[in-house]
């Protein structure tokens, strides 16, 4: 049985909401009170994994759209136009605004100026390579865009693969690509511990995107879907066990994306190598379980909680804009809070930053993003009505309830 295109999976919205909350927590941890602090700040420590969850959701939903619509006329034009309308307006408004503030108002970004090289890397979507190989340090107000660069590269290349390759060869590309991504991270870690490159450059970040893509492909194959449904709980358990072992062995689960030296020697990160692959497998397995028909379980109902799905609905605006919100909160916070112990200051800051980010993200969607999304009517997908696909492409940059693509 093939996937119902119009079936709405509220739990995927909640899953996206959790991913966004994790990203905000990890940035509160970094911006507000220095580096990771370990227990009892584990939610702040592991929040970076939300980006990998975004990647899995992107791979699943975008690959579904491509597979279902690749036989339509002007497929590439329609796909890229709709992606551009979803992502680029707010992104470029943020980048241009940040550059203007940095240049005119001398507003520092992460303690550094936003120079023209950084600005150009953002405009051309190669910031993730630039910050890995050409930039010393990171610009906090734009550094989160490394993941958006990865997704844009995926949106540019993956449609060609899905359009021209057979299903069997597409599966092979997913498997080979995921393994190659792991091996490349191992190379960077073993060859000099370039943790930042191992984390942010596109070839090192493909396994999560391809894991989600593999789920989308599998659920469109009637002979393979039952196997995928049965296998998903076991793969989730195995990957969770590996992640727990890494967590216990390291006493935490920070991504350590900045170079770290002990005894004069580079430190090999098992988290950024095998851990990231285990995260991809875990999240892909969870997505597979959620899109299966038998999803009326306590945890799927928890993910469908309305406040959480609303966070997923406005996740793009929240993701893009939350660094400025954190920066303003830190500047305005009373000294008693900024100098408070981490166990007090970080949770308080998070409790303020999250609802404020939600309000700003919702306002961004209603007042700005919807104006551009309305233009999607000029680029309809023939197989689905515009109303049914308006929400289909929500990924890490989402805006509306998720449907199975």
pLDDT (0 to 100) of residue 159:
95
pLDDT (0 to 100) of residue 34:
52
Distances (CA, A) of 60 to 165, 309, 319, 393: 17, 18, 20, 10
pLDDT (0 to 100) of residue 181:
97
pLDDT (0 to 100) of residue 113:
62
pLDDT (0 to 100) of residue 346:
84
pLDDT (0 to 100) of residue 264:
47
pLDDT (0 to 100) of residue 203:
97
Q: With a cut of 70, which residues of the chain have pLDDT below it?
A: 1-7, 32-41, 104-113, 135-138, 192-193, 251, 255-266, 293-295, 338, 383-405
Structure tokens at 320: 């893009």
Name the 3-class secondary structure at 293. coil
Name the 3-class secondary structure at 8. strand
- Give residues with Cβ within 8 angstroms of 179, minimum separation 6: 207
pLDDT (0 to 100) of residue 213:
97
Residue with structure tokens 């095998």?
274
- Per DSSP, what are the bridge partners of residue 112? 109
- Chain-centroid distance of CA 250 in Å reads 24
Closest by CA to 395, choosing from 217, 213, 196, 200, is 213
Residue with structure tokens 């979803």?
86
Angle at 201 between CA 168 and CA 162, to 5 degrees: 20
Distance CA 387, CA 378 (A): 12
Cα-trace Rg, the chain: 20
pLDDT (0 to 100) of residue 305:
92
pLDDT of 168-199, one tens digit each?
999 999 999 999 999 999 998 887 657 888 99
Distance CA 396, CA 297 (A): 25
Closest by CA to 318, choosing from 289, 358, 285, is 358
pLDDT (0 to 100) of residue 135:
67
- Per DSSP, what are the bridge partners of residue 266? 261
pLDDT (0 to 100) of residue 33:
58
pLDDT (0 to 100) of residue 38:
55
Which string of b and e fits 147-158 if b means at least 16 CB within 10 Å? bbbbbbbbbeeb
């Amino acid at each position: 049985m093939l996937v119902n295109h119009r079936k709405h999976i509220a739990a995927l919205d909640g899953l996206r909401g959790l991913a966004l909350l994790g990203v905000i927590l990890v940035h509160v941890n970094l911006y507000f009170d220095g580096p990771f602090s370990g227990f009892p700040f584990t939610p702040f420590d592991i929040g970076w994994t939300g980006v990998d969850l975004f990647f899995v959701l992107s791979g699943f939903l975008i690959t579904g759209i491509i597979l279902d619509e690749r036989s339509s006329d002007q497929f590439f034009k329609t796909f890229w136009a709709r992606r551009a309308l979803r992502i680029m307006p707010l992104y470029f408004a943020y980048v241009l605004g940040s550059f203007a503030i940095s240049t005119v108002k001398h507003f520092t970004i992460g303690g550094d100026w936003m120079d023209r090289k950084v600005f150009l890397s953002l405009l051309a979507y190669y910031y993730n390579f630039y910050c890995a190989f050409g930039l010393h340090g990171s610009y906090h107000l734009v550094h989160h865009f490394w993941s958006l660069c990865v997704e844009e590269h995926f949106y540019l290349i993956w449609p060609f693969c899905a359009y021209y390759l057979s299903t069997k060869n597409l599966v092979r590309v997913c498997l080979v690509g995921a393994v190659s991504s792991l091996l490349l991270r191992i190379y960077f870690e073993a060859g000099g511990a370039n943790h930042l490159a191992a984390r942010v450059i596109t070839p090192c970040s493909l396994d999560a995107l391809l894991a989600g893509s593999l789920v989308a492909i599998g659920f469109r194959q009637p002979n393979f879907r039952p196997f995928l449904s049965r296998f998903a709980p076991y793969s989730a358990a195995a990957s969770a066990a590996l992640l727990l072992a890494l967590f216990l062995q390291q006493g935490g689960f920070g991504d350590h994306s900045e170079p770290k030296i002990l005894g004069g020697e580079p430190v090999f990160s098992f988290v950024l190598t095998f851990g990231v692959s285990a995260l991809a497998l875990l999240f892909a397995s969870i997505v597979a379980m959620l899109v299966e028909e038998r999803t009326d379980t306590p945890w799927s109902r928890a993910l469908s909680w309305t406040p959480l799905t609303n966070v997923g609905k406005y996740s793009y605006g929240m993701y893009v804009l939350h660094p400025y919100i954190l920066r303003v909160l830190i500047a305005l916070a009373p000294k008693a809070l900024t100098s408070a112990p981490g166990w007090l200051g970080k949770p308080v800051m998070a409790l303020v930053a999250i609802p404020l980010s939600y309000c700003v993200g919702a306002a961004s969607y209603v007042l700005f993003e919807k104006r551009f999304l309305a233009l999607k009517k000029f680029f309809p997908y023939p197989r689905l009505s515009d109303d049914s696909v308006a929400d289909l492409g929500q990924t890490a940059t989402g805006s509306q309830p998720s449907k199975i693509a």
